[in-house]
Each structure stands twice: as C-alpha cells, then as structure tokens.
C-alpha cells in the first residue's frame, strides 16, 4: 500500500510518520520547498515528543520520504490524505477551505488507477462532497472515491494518540473505500481500537462536535471557578466530586486561563458558523466561546489586582507562553491575549518557556524580554505568573523564587501549587477557584 499526505504541518507530518510506522510506504508532500528540504535531512520543524526519532527511523527504513512535486507520488498512490491548514476565516469564523480545495485541484489531473482521496483536515460538513466535485470536474475519467477521516490528536501526546487511538472515524460512500481505509488502520484495530464507519457528513461533524464538547467542559469548570472564588468553595474539590461520576468523567475539568491552541478556538467558531448557516441557533457553543474570552479577561484583572497599584512601575515574570505544555504551538494561547493587555497597562514582562520562545518572539510585543533560565527571569520582578503548566515549573525551589523577587507574589493560573504550602513559604499566593 502506498500513501501520499498533502501538507507537512502538524497533522500531516504526524499522520505521515505514523502511517509509515504502520509499515506502509508514505510520501509527505508540501509546496514549501524550504520545509521539505529540512525534512529530507530529518530536521523536524515542530516540537512534538517522539516525532523526530520516529521520523528518522522510518526514513532510514525507506518507508518515509518527502517531496514538493506531487507528480512524484500521487499517480501511484492508493490513498491520498489532504492534511492542509483550515484556519478560521477573518470576519466570520468559518473555516478557510481554500487550501483544501487547492489541494483537490492540484491532485485531480495526476490520479491514475483507483484512489481514495481522504480529508484529514478538520473541515465543515459538505467539504468531502465539494472535493469530489472539484476532482470530477477536472478529471471526469478518474476512478476515485472521497472519504473523511478526522484526526483526534492532542499536541504533546500526538504519537500515542495516533498509534493507540480511542477510535478511528472514517466517513465513506461505499465498501470499496471503507475496506481500503480499514486495511490501512488495521494495526490500531489489533489493539482493539474501534473503527467507526459513517457517512461523509457524520464523520465531518463528529470532529467539531467532539472538540466543542471538550471546550464546553473547560468553559464550564472555569465558570464554576468564578462561583468558587465568590463563595469560598474549592474548585479542585468540586471538580473531583464531579469527575468521579462516570457520566461526567475527570478529564477537562481543570480550571485555568481559558482554552487555546489550534483546535478548540477555531472549531467552536466554525461549528457555530455551520449552525448559523443552517438556520440554527447554537446557543451553548456560542456561550462557550464567550465564557472563554471572559476567563482570559478575568486572568488579566486577577494579575493586576495581585500586583496592586502603580502597575506602570511593575515587572512580572511569566512562566509558560504556549497554550499547553509539551508543544511549541502558540496559536490562540491565552498568553497572546493576556500579555499585550498587561503591557498596555505599563507592566514590564520577563518571559520563560521551554519550547515556545521562538514562536512567541514572532507574535508577542517586542518589549517582552525572554530568558533561558527560569530563575533569572524572576530577578527584580514584582510577581511570578505561572501561565502554562510545564513540568519544569512544578518543582521549583521556592526559596530561590522568593529570593529573586522584589515582592513575594505568586499568581498560579494553573493551580499547580497548594495554597497553604505557598503561604507557609511566605508568598501572597493567588490561584483560580480556590
């Protein structure tokens, strides 16, 4: 079996490498020649634990290669995965499908023999049928089917998620295409991961519905944290008591500065737009989006309250910039909202992040000063703000932290530390929902 993956971004690269690990021959294609040249030399452009070593292994075993010429692989491929970006369109929140449709146009004249063209990108309902029409119009004699195969990858755990998934969802129109996809994913089925076969539209909607539901859990627990702060309840106790109910579950009940990343912000907005275009009011999803924005604003006010008056004379150390640990992804990270607003109020920012600094430099205000050493970032600062729960921040020497700061103020937006313990160290400690 031969697979071509169009797009060497996060989803495309992880998928291509993992398909190769399944034992099939994979060519990953991208129009970015510089990116392909780096990948040919086994230089991975993103940080994802385990990805680089797996990529090198499969290159060395001749199952994985890279190209910027679609003609090198598409004619001989059994399956072609479209894994290009679908960013939120400016102005209306709808997914920008221009890259998906361009990929369909580019591959259409190159098809030879029976091929299944698979949407791997997160796309609105109806996209697969539009891809089918584009290809049919450009190559009426092509023997092909379309399918939808949404990804469910968590950044920082993508390899494990791909190799040992909760489920594999395939949207198909017939058994011929279904059988080919089932054969590709057979290694996951051997570990009893269910392969769910649906129609095209259901598969497309499953991804949006899943992400919107998880985002709902996050926004809900963040809203509960507000109530906890006003009533004296402890959000950790509330979340624990809720999560032990099997109908609810423990995951995604962790309060914080709001969700971010490449999926939840984009997909909730796209789902709300899909509903609107079909004459439906998606009030729950719309409120989830609103609550998430409110939470970020709450964190700004929490920080300003903690450091007190004369903000324009203060400096704070920010620990963590990425939207979550174990990734260098800065897309829609809470820091992108919180830090510029703090800077507008005159606050000086020192920042540290294990992997996100280079991306942060491209998009955060130039006044942010970056540090390679955690403790040096705190020197002369009036407070520490723990923004992202990287493991390196979980076991800091609090005596050193206190020594470095002008004032012992610790603002923990991820509730990593225990309030009493921090108070015993002599910190003015602020957390979320406690």
| Residue pLDDT, tens place only, 195-226 | 999 999 999 999 999 999 999 999 999 999 99
The domain covering 200-434 belongs, at the CATH homologous superfamily level, to NAD(P)-binding Rossmann-like Domain (3.40.50.720)
Cα angle value 394/400/403 (rounded, 5°): 135
Average pLDDT, rounded, for the chain: 95
pLDDT, position 15:
97
In whole angstroms, what is the distance from residue 405 CA to residue 330 CA?
27
pLDDT value at residue 242: 97
Whether the predicted pLDDT of 91 surpasses 70 = no
What digits encode the pLDDT tens for the residues 155-174?
999 999 999 999 999 999 99
Six-digit token pair at 16? 């291509």
- As a whole number of angstroms, the distance between CA 383 and CA 402 comes to 10
Between CA 355 and CA 351 the distance in angstroms is 12
Residue 190: pLDDT band by 50, 70, 90 thresholds? confident
Is the fold of 2-198 the same as that of 200-434? yes
How much is the average pLDDT of 355-369?
96
pLDDT average, residue stretch 31-35: 93
Of 192-196, 380-384, 404-408, give the lowest mean pLDDT range.
192-196
Side-chain-facing half-sphere of 88: CA atoms under 13 Å = 20
Does the structure show a pLDDT above 90 at 67? yes
Going by pLDDT thresholds of 50, 70 and 90, the confidence category of residue 92 is low
187 CB-side CA count, 13 A: 11
Which one of the listed residues 18, 28, 263, 304 is annotated catalytic? 263
- CA 280 – CA 271 distance, rounded (Å): 11
Residue 196, SS3 per DSSP: strand
CA separation for the pair 144, 125 (Å, rounded): 20
Answer yes or no: are the C-beta atoms of 360 and 319 closer than 8 Å.
no
Top-level CATH class of 2-198? alpha beta
Domain boundaries, the chain: 2-198, 200-434
Q: How far apart are CA 343 and CA 365, in angstroms?
A: 8
Token pair for 386: 């723990």
Checking if the pLDDT of 260 tops 80, the result is yes
Task: Say what percent of the chain tops pLDDT 70.
Answer: 99
Give me the pLDDT at residue 88, please.
82
Average pLDDT over residues 81-96: 83
CA distance 95 to 25: 31
> What does the pLDDT read at residue 13?
97
Give me the residue label for tokens 């291509």.
16
Q: pTM of this prediction?
A: 0.91
Does the annotation mark 263 as catalytic? yes
Q: What is the pLDDT of residue 94?
A: 79
Tell me what pLDDT residue 311 has. Answer: 86
Are 100 and 118 a contacting pair, CB within 8 Å? no
23, 187 in Cβ contact below 8 A? yes
Q: What is the pLDDT of residues 216-258, one digit of tens each?
A: 999 999 999 999 999 999 999 999 999 999 999 999 999 999 9
- How far, CA to CA in Å, does 19 sit from each of 23, 178, 182, 218? 7, 17, 13, 32
Largest CA distance in the chain: 75
- The confidence band for 191, taking pLDDT boundaries of 50, 70 and 90, is confident
What gap in Å lies between CA 205 and CA 182, rounded to an integer?
Answer: 20
């Amino acid at each position: 079996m031969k697979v071509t993956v169009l797009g060497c971004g996060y989803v495309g690269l992880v998928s291509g490498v993992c398909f190769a690990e399944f034992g099939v021959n994979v060519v990953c294609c991208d129009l970015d020649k510089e990116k392909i040249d780096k990948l040919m030399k086994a230089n991975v452009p993103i940080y994802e634990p385990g990805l680089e070593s797996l990529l090198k292994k499969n290159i060395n075993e001749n199952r994985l290669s890279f190209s910027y010429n679609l003609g090198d692989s598409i004619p001989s491929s059994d399956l072609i995965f479209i894994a290009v970006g679908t960013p939120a369109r400016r102005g209306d929140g709808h997914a920008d499908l221009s890259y998906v449709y361009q990929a369909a146009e580019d591959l259409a004249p190159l098809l030879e023999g029976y091929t299944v063209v698979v949407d791997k990108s997160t796309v609105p309902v109806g996209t697969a049928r539009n891809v089918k029409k584009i290809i049919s119009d450009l190559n009426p004699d092509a023997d092909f089917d379309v399918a939808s195969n949404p990804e469910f990858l968590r950044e920082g755990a993508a390899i494990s998620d791909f190799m040992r998934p909760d489920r594999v969802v395939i949207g198909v129109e017939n058994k011929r295409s279904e059988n080919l996809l089932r054969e590709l994913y057979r290694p996951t089925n051997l570990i009893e991961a269910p392969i769910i076969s649906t129609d095209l539209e259901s598969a497309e909607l499953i991804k949006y519905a899943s992400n919107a539901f998880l985002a709902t859990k996050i926004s809900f627990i963040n809203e509960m944290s507000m109530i906890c702060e006003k009533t004296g309840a402890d959000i950790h106790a509330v979340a624990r008591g809720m999560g032990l109910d099997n109908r609810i579950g423990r995951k995604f009940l962790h309060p914080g500065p709001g969700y971010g990343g490449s999926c939840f912000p984009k997909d909730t907005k796209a789902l709300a737009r899909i509903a609107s275009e079909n004459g439906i009011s998606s009030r729950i999803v719309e409120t989830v989006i609103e609550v998430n924005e409110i939470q970020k604003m709450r964190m700004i006010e929490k920080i300003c309250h903690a450091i007190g008056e004369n903000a324009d004379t203060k400096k704070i150390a920010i620990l963590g910039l990425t939207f979550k640990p174990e990734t260098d992804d800065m897309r829609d990270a809470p820091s992108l909202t919180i830090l510029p607003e703090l800077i507008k109020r005159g606050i000086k920012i020192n920042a540290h992040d294990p992997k996100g600094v280079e991306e942060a430099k491209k998009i955060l205000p130039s006044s942010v000063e970056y540090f390679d050493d955690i403790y040096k970032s705190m020197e002369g600062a009036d407070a520490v703000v723990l923004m992202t729960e990287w493991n390196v921040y979980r076991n800091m020497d609090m005596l050193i932290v206190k020594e470095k700061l002008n004032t012992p103020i610790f603002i923990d937006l991820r509730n990593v530390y225990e309030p009493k313990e921090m108070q015993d160290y002599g910190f003015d400690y602020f957390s979320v929902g406690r």
